Amino acid sequence: MRFLIVTPMFAPAFVYGGPPRSSLGLAKGLQACGHSVAVITSNGNGSVNLSDVVPDQWTTYEGVSVIYLRRVGNGSYHWAPGLGAELMRCVAGYDIAILRATWTYFNWRSASLLHKVRKPYLQYALGTFDSWALKHHHGRKRLYWLIAERWVYKRATGIIALSESEVLQIRGMRLDRPIGIIPNGVDFDELDQETPPIGAIYPELDGRRFILYMGRLHQKKGIERLMEAFAAVQARHSDAVLVIAGAGEGSYETALSALVERYGLNKRVVMTGFVSGIRRVALLRSAYVHVLPSLSEGLPMSALEAMACGTPVIVTPQCYLPEVQAEGAGLVVENDPVTLAQAMIQLLDAPDLRSHMAERAYRLARQHYSWRSAAEKVASFAARVMGAQVSPQEE
């Protein structure tokens, strides 16, 4: 089958966190299954544009055919004037499109043209209808939903949910399109590469037990609550270190630094900034526990990757990973500072429990979260909904 993935953010635009990584993983997974794949994306990378790609020209990234269209401005709407023309030039060469963004120009423009030429498309929800996500900028989203985004979803040939919880969220939006439950995967080849000892990369972490947060620095991630919780952890485990690995808007990073000062954690919190490559893998592999106190997620890549590295995780219910608790791969706790602190202390107090969870985490990720498995499910779902010749709703 021939797949055309349309997304406003794609590798190496990793400042966006999980979305570009998961789009790359899906594309490589589909190729590994024998399918043809190409990606139309923008050259946006947060508030700047990618400097190491030539815009508006087809190229490859890690073996995936991709074109990075020139984004105008630096906003999150990702307006790329060349999208329509490029899509029309190449769409006939593909059997089905996969749209991987909501609330963006890419979604609306692509869906409009695909509908016009009667080309089927699958729409990823990617946490769009999570309660916190809908409340964030609620007024703007409500208006845009009524004007454009609802149209995109109602005409999709199928919708892909990352979890069973997301299916309920989709149905709550009164969308009755076919839904496939297909979780994200993990790039095991990347995570299995050799890395130097953590102390060779970060001397301040040599021989230390450290708690890791890795991801985009954004208010929805609950990092402020994590810092408050870690301040309480220090009273019992003064040797522990908190590592915050990621980047975000400058004003938010400044606010987090101010919290470090406020809680007196200058010597106990390491803020690495954006990490990639062996630094990223080494942190995931060496952490005592990975904590994601998020208020809103689709299905968090960093938690899956930490488990695949044999690191137990502490996640919130809003991460939609109940199997973490069920399989003994970590803890699922509410995202208030007291509960987060208790969870971290529980694992710091019990190294044997931590080791047991590490083994279960590794097994869970390796058995259930491969990109090849996810890609096979996407291809099967696409074949099913295309074979059923589902006609999009008209309103």
- Report mean pLDDT in 10-residue bins for the chain, 395 residues: 98 92 97 98 94 96 98 94 97 97 95 97 97 94 96 97 96 97 95 96 96 95 96 94 93 93 93 95 98 95 97 97 97 97 98 98 97 97 82 36
Residues 6+ apart with CB under 8 A from 353: 346, 347
Gap between the Cα atoms of 386 and 384, Å rounded: 6
Phi and psi for 40 in degrees, rounded to 5? -105, 125
The pLDDT score that the predictor gives to residue 388 is 67
The DSSP string of 270-322 is EEEES--HHHHHHHHHH-SEEEE--S--SS-HHHHHHHHTT--EEE-GGG--T
Distances, alpha carbon 48 to alpha carbons 24, 44, 75, 107, 386, in Å: 20, 6, 9, 21, 38
Paired sense of beta strands 48-49 and 44-45, if any: antiparallel
CB 132 within 8 A of CB 296: yes
Ramachandran bin of 277, using left for φ above 0, alpha for ψ from -120 to 50, beta for the remaining angles: left
The pLDDT score that the predictor gives to residue 2 is 97
What ranges in 145-263 are assigned the alpha helix state H?
150-154, 164-172, 188-191, 198-201, 223-234, 250-262
What's the whole-model pTM score? 0.92
- Give me the residues paired with residue 210 across strands: 241
Gap between the Cα atoms of 308 and 311, Å rounded: 7
- Give me the residues paired with residue 292 across strands: 315
Tokens coding 267: 């010597």
What ranges in the chain are assigned the alpha helix state H?
18-32, 83-90, 105-116, 131-135, 138-144, 150-154, 164-172, 188-191, 198-201, 223-234, 250-262, 277-286, 301-308, 323-326, 337-349, 351-368, 371-387
The pLDDT score that the predictor gives to residue 395 is 31
Q: List the domains of the chain with CATH numbers.
A: 2-185+371-387 (3.40.50.2000), 188-368 (3.40.50.2000)
The pLDDT score that the predictor gives to residue 391 is 40
